Every structure is written in structure tokens, then in C-alpha cells.
Amino acid sequence: MQIAIVLYPEFTALDVIGPYEVLGRLPGAEIVFVAEKPGLVRNDLGTLAVDVVAGLASITRPDVVVIGGGPGQVDQMKDGPLHEWLRAVDEHTTWTMSVCTGSLILAAAGLLRGRRATTHWGALDQLAHFGVTPTEDRVVVDGKYLIGAGVSAGIDAALTLAGRIAGDQTAQAVQLIIEYDPRPPYSAGSTATAPEPVRRAATSMLTPRHPG
Amino acid sequence: MQIAIVLYPEFTALDVIGPYEVLGRLPGAEIVFVAEKPGLVRNDLGTLAVDVVAGLASITRPDVVVIGGGPGQVDQMKDGPLHEWLRAVDEHTTWTMSVCTGSLILAAAGLLRGRRATTHWGALDQLAHFGVTPTEDRVVVDGKYLIGAGVSAGIDAALTLAGRIAGDQTAQAVQLIIEYDPRPPYSAGSTATAPEPVRRAATSMLTPRHPG
């Protein structure tokens, strides 16, 4: 089972590494990081560079595609090689997954029209521009599209996908291996629970270009 | 505030990327990945290669050190350049942090003697060999040592550290930015909650060399 994880400049690392850590542990999973421009792909914070060997042209029939978000998402919204590739491989995938603002890229490529989806809370209103119904669920499954909310939601989304792919017991075993028994020290992880001053602080810390 | 994140071959990606995503967003944080052998450092699953520019000798006074775990931890237990570096920089750090079996490396370097600590559940019994009192807490703070349990616990540990470094409101803002409002689809993330067949499956999926 080939799982292609798309990287692009200014990606958010946890968006993709959360799912990678879960899906990469499934029996028979072959993970490949893929980018339009292979080589070192640098993240949004600028201090992490991942060596990507595979270009889009070399990955033609992945079983699963995963795309994350990050400030660089805004540069991936125009029709072009990545959208063409996403449309082509999506014809054959078993699952197409996104985390955070990665769903906006899938939506811009035309893959989510008429479907329900989510994204980072700071970008939720953008989904409707692409004919997508936004939801505030942390993980949305609509057909073969498995869509996670912002950044860390990729772990929950990937465990959900792991259950669909490999069964509940294997997914649970992966959860135990990564000791995913979360105990956040605060209850500020969603706009519903974060106090107003925290929401303001978070908004001011997000880049001008893009949330998350 | 310089935060040095140690990588070594066969590290577990989420162990370090969780804390990176949190700590890297703190105002004034300067993150540097550091390795005994700079260049491409490959993770335990073998499919992620991070380009590390900084060698140990070039990072002499980090304010914070973070070390994660993974199967490669077993190769980092002998006294040598990494232990020497950890002991030297620890004399000046404000915080020394580990995730997963990274605490065994700190312990082997002699830094946790007489302290409380935790690690991945599969390795908890090893801490006592180094004069460390094992605890089953997900995050342990003992003096300036901030120790997280397995893999995903690094996110909780880093948010705890973020609060100590930058205050509760900033830590909460980071929690909101990474939308850390976890909703695991299963309750199998700890040995206390995972059913016995899941525990057996997880144990059989862990590498022979080392858990997590």
C-alpha cells in the first residue's frame, strides 16, 4: 500500500508528521514523500528541511494521498502541476486525505465539490468558495475523502484512517505505540474553548499570509 | 532563546516534531536541529530524512535542549561525544527536555540521577538502572528537567514548557494555533486503557531493538 505525502515549501511540519507517524506504522505501508520540486523542502518556520526524493511524475498510482497545510498553501491554490497530479492520482486512490489548510488545495483542485470538509479554524470560511460545505468537526469522512482540522488534528484523522485501512485493533495498537493518550495542560485548543484574549493572541501570532 | 533539538539516526519523528511545532512558535525562539554527524539524518521508519546543518561543536550554549527517542536511542547510550555535549550544555540550560526514550539518553549521561522521570511505556523499567525514579505521569517536571512519556506526549510536554517559558496565555495561543483539541477515535493510548489484545499487537509491532 503506497501512501504519498505531499510536501511543498512552507508546509507545517506537524500537519504531515502526525499522519506519517501513524500511517507509516501500518503493516504493508510504503510511505513516500513527494514534491513538485524534489530536493530539500523547507517548512513554514524555516528551520526544518526535509529531503524529498520523489517528484510528482514518479508517483503515479499511490493508494493513499495525504496533503497538509501551512502558510505555503496559498502558493498551491493556482491550477498547475500539483492540481493536475492530485486530480490524476485521486482517480485511483482508495483514500485521499488532508490536514489543516491542505483541504483548500484539494478543494481548489476541484476534488471536494459538493462534499463536507473542514480545515484550520482560521480558514474555515474559505471552503465555501469551492463548493464545499464547511463543518466544525475535527475529522470529516465523506466518501473516500478524509479531512482533518488544523495541524494536530492530523493525528486523530490518521488514526481514523488507520482503522478503516487496517482494522480497529491495528489502529489501536498504533495509538498505543505512539502513546496517544493526550493530556493537554490547557483547554484552549479550539475556538469554542479558548478565552477571547487567547484567540486574539493566536490570531496575532499567525502569519499575515495564512493561518496554521 | 536558542532551543537545540537533538537528532540521531533512527529517531522517531513525532517525538521531536511535536515539541518543535509548539516551541518553534514561541516569540523569540530560535530553533536549531543538532546532530553528532550533521547532514541527512534518517528516522526509524527510514522514509524521512532531515537535513541537519549544526554539529554538536557549533552549539555551545543553548537555552533549552530537547532530545527525543526512537529505536536509535540504543546506539546513544554509550558515553561519548553526545553524552559529553549533553553534560556540558546542561550546565547552562534553563530547561532540559526529553520525550519518549530520550530520557534514557539523559539518564545514561548522568543528568537525571536522583530525579523522577518517565519514558515510553515499553521502556519504563530501564530508568531505575540509572538511579532515576520512574513515574507513569505523562509529563514530569523535576527542577529544570521536563520529561515527556512516549512519542505524542511531547506535545503535552512542550505545551507545559511553553507555559513556563512564555506564560500561560502564549502557551494557550500556541495550543489554539495548532488546534490541539485532541479527539482520539479510540481509548487505547496507554497501557491502562488498551485492551490486552491491543497491548499484545502493539508489542509485536514494536521493533525488536526498542519500543517507540
Percent of residues, chain A, with pLDDT higher than 70: 97
Considering only the beta carbons, identify the residue of B14, B176, B199 that sits closest to A189. B176
Q: Is A188's CB within 8 Å of B177's CB?
A: no
Of B175, B193, B194, the CB nearest to A188: B175
Percent of the residues in chain B that have a pLDDT greater than 90, as a whole number: 97
Domain CATH number, residue A28: 3.40.50.880
Residue B46 has pLDDT above 80, yes or no: yes
What's the total number of domains in chain A?
A: 1
Are the beta carbons of A121 and A101 closer than 8 angstroms? no
**Model pLDDT, residue A208:** 55
Is B14 at the interface with chain A, CB within 8 A? yes
Nearest residue in B to A155, CA atom: B184
Q: Measure CB to CB from residue B21 to each of A13, A51, A176 and give the nearest one.
A: A13
Vertex A83, ends A78 and A85: CA angle to 5°?
Answer: 155
Q: Is residue A206 in a domain?
A: no
Interface of A with B in 127-146 (CB under 8 A): 138-139
Locate the chain A residue with the closest alpha carbon to B198: A173
Q: How far apart are CA A73 and CA B124, in angstroms?
A: 41
Structural domain span for residue B14: 2-184
Q: Active-site positions of B?
A: 100
The alpha carbon of residue A91 is apart from the nearest alpha carbon of chain B, in Å, by 25
For the cut 70, the answer to whether the pLDDT of residue B207 exceeds it is no
- Confidence at A55, pLDDT banded by 50, 70, 90: very high
Question: Are β-strands B30-35 and B2-6 bridged in parallel, bridged antiparallel, or unpaired?
Answer: parallel
Q: Is residue A210 part of a domain?
A: no
- Whether A200 is in a domain gets the answer no
* Averaged pLDDT score across all residues of chain B: 96
Query: Between residues 32 and 61 of chain A, which touch chain B (CB distance below 8 Å)?
Result: 32-33, 40, 45, 47-51
Confirm whether B191 is domain-assigned.
no
Say if residue A110 is exposed, middle or buried (CB neighbours under 10 Å; 0-12, 13-18, 19+): middle
Task: Kindly determine whether residue A172 and residue B149, on different chains, have CB atoms separated by under 8 Å.
Answer: no
Contact B184, A139 (CB under 8 A): no
Question: Which of B45, B173, B186 is the closest to A171 by Cβ?
Answer: B186
- Give the confidence band of A211 by pLDDT, cuts at 50, 70, 90: low
**Chain A neighbors of B179, CB-CB under 8 A:** 100, 120-121, 149-153, 189-190, 212
Indicate whether B210 pLDDT > 60: no
| Cβ-nearest to B25 among A159, A205, A211 | A205
Domain assignment of residue B52, yes or no: yes
Q: What residues of A act catalytically?
A: 100
What does the pLDDT look like over A187-199, one tens digit per residue? 999 999 999 999 9
Residue B28 forms part of a structural domain: yes
Residue A76 backbone phi and psi in degrees, to 5: -110, 15
Interface touch A176/B190, C-beta < 8 Å: yes
Q: Which residues of B touch A166 (CB under 8 A)?
A: none
Q: What is the reported pLDDT for B176?
A: 98
Q: What chain A residue is nearest to B50 in terms of C-alpha separation? A: A50
pLDDT at B212 over 90: no
Tell me the residues of chain A between 56 and 75 that have a Cβ less than 8 Å away from chain B: none
Whether ipTM > 0.85 holds is: yes
CA-based nearest distance A66→chain B, Å:
15
Q: Looking at beta carbons, which residues of chain A come within 8 Å of B68?
A: none
Over the stretch A102-152, which tens digit does the pLDDT of each residue have? 999 999 999 999 999 999 999 999 999 999 999 999 999 999 999 999 999
Q: What is the pTM of this model?
A: 0.97
Residue B26 maps to a domain: yes
Q: What is the pLDDT of residue B60?
A: 98
Give the pLDDT band of residue A162 (cuts 50, 70, 90).
very high
A27 touching B, CB under 8 A? yes
pLDDT band at B208 (very low <50, low <70, confident <90, very high): low
A/B interface, count of CB pairs below 8 Å: 239
> Beta B39-42 vs B49-52: how paired, if at all?
antiparallel
Residue B39 · residue B61 · CB < 8 Å:
no
Phi (first) and psi of residue B105, to 5 degrees: -70, -45
Say whether residue A163 is in contact with chain B using an 8 A CB cutoff.
yes
Q: Is the pLDDT of residue B151 over 90?
A: yes
Residue A199 touches partner B, C-beta closer than 8 Å: yes
pLDDT at A76: 98
Judge whether residue A210 has pLDDT over 60.
Answer: no
Domain assignment present for B208: no
For the stretch B103-149, pLDDT in tens is 999 999 999 999 999 999 999 999 999 999 999 999 999 999 999 99
In B, minimum Cα distance to A40 occurs at: B51
User: pLDDT tens digit string along B91-106?
Assistant: 999 999 999 999 999 9
Inspect the interface and report whether the beta carbons of A159 and B211 lie closer than 8 Å.
Answer: no
pLDDT digits (tens, 9 = 90+) for B158-202: 999 999 999 999 999 999 999 999 999 999 999 999 999 999 999
